[in-house]
A and B are shown apart, each in its own frame.
Chain A
Amino acid sequence: MSLKMPPLDEAVLARRGQIAAALRAIVPGDGGVIDDAAALRVYESDGLTAYRQPPMLVCLPQTTEQVSRVLKWCHGQGVKVVPRGSGTSLSGGALPLGDAVLLGMARFNQVLQIDYEDRLAVVQPGVTNLAVTRAVEAEGFYYAPDPSSQIACSIGGNVAENSGGVHCLKYGLTTNNVLGVELVLMDGEVVRLGGRCLDPAGLDLLGLVVGSEGLLGVVTEVTVRILPRPQTARAVLIGFPTVESAGQCVADVIAAGIIPAGMEMMDRPAIHAAEAFVRAGYPLDVEALLIVELDGPSAECDHLIGEVEAIARANGAGACRVSTSEAERLNFWAGRKAAFPAVGRISPDYYCMDGTIPRRRLPEVLRRMEALGAKHGLACANVFHAGDGNLHPLILYDANKPGELDRAEAFGSDILRLCVEVGGVLTGEHGVGVEKRDLMPVMFSEDDLKHQQRVKCAFDPKQLLNPGKVFPVLHRCAELGRMHIHGGKTPFPDLPRF
Chain B
Amino acid sequence: MTLRPTSVDDLRDAVADAVRSSSKLEIRGGDTKADLGAPREAVLLDMGGFNQVIDYDPAELVLTVGSGTPLAQIEALVAGAGQMLAFEPFDHGPLFGRPAGAATIGGIMAAGVSGSRRLSGGAARDHLLGFQGVSGRGEAFVGGAKVVKNVTGYDLPKVMAGSWGRLVALTEITLKVLPRPRESLTLVLDTLDPHAAQAAMSLAMGSQAEVAAAAHLPGPPSVTAVRLEGFGPSVAARRIMLDDLLAETGRLRALSPGDAEAFWNSIRTLAPLANGRPLWRVNTPPSAGCAVVAALQPLGARWLFDWAGGLTWMTFDGDPALVRQAALAAGGHAALIRAPDELRRSTPALHPQPRGVAALEARVRAAFDPTGVFETGRFLDQPDAD
Contacts and interface: CB of A to CB of B under 8 A. Distances in A.
A14 B19 CA distance: 47
Contact of B310 (A197, A203, A356, A443): A197
B179 to A, nearest CB: 4
B151 A429 contact: yes
B143 interface: yes
A204 interface: yes
A228 B283 contact: no
Contact of B156 (A297, A450, A452): A452
B234 A300 contact: yes
Interface stretch (A29-37, A39-47, A314-322, A490-498): A490-498
Interface string B1-43: 1010100001011101111111110000000000000000111
A485 B353 contact: no
Given A192-B357, A203-B163, A207-B159, A485 B208 contact: no
B332 to A, nearest CB: 5
A493 B360 contact: no
Contacts of A454: 367-368
B141 A428 contact: no
A490 B208 contact: no
B234 A299 contact: yes
A26 interface: no
B313 to A, nearest CB: 13
B321 interface: no
Given A204-B158, A230-B208, A490-B16, A498 B151 contact: no
Interface string B145-164: 11111111111101101110
A202 B361 contact: yes
B353 A201 contact: yes
B364 interface: yes
Interface string A225-259: 00011110000000000000000000100111111
B158 A175 contact: yes
Contacts of A231: 208
Which of B1, B21, B354 gathers most chain A CB within 10 Å? B21
The secondary-structure label for the interface of chain A is loop
A358 B62 contact: yes
Interface string B221-241: 000000000111110111001
Given A175-B158, A303-B232, A495-B1, 14 more contacts: A189-B356, A198-B118, A205-B159, A210-B155, A259-B179, A299-B237, A300-B231, A424-B147, A432-B151, A440-B152, A451-B141, A485-B138, A490-B13, A493-B17
Interface of B: 1, 3, 5, 10, 12-14, 16-24, 41-43, 57-62, 82, 112, 114, 118-119, 122-123, 125-126, 135, 137-143, 145-156, 158-159, 161-163, 178-182, 202, 205-208, 210, 230-234, 236-238, 241, 283-287, 307, 310-311, 331-333, 335, 350-351, 353-354, 356-358, 360-361, 363-368, 370-371
22 contacts: A117-B202, A117-B206, A169-B149, A172-B126, A198-B311, A202-B351, A203-B159, A205-B361, A211-B154, A228-B206, A255-B82, A303-B234, A304-B231, A356-B147, A358-B147, A452-B156, A458-B360, A459-B363, A485-B20, A485-B138, A486-B138, A496-B21
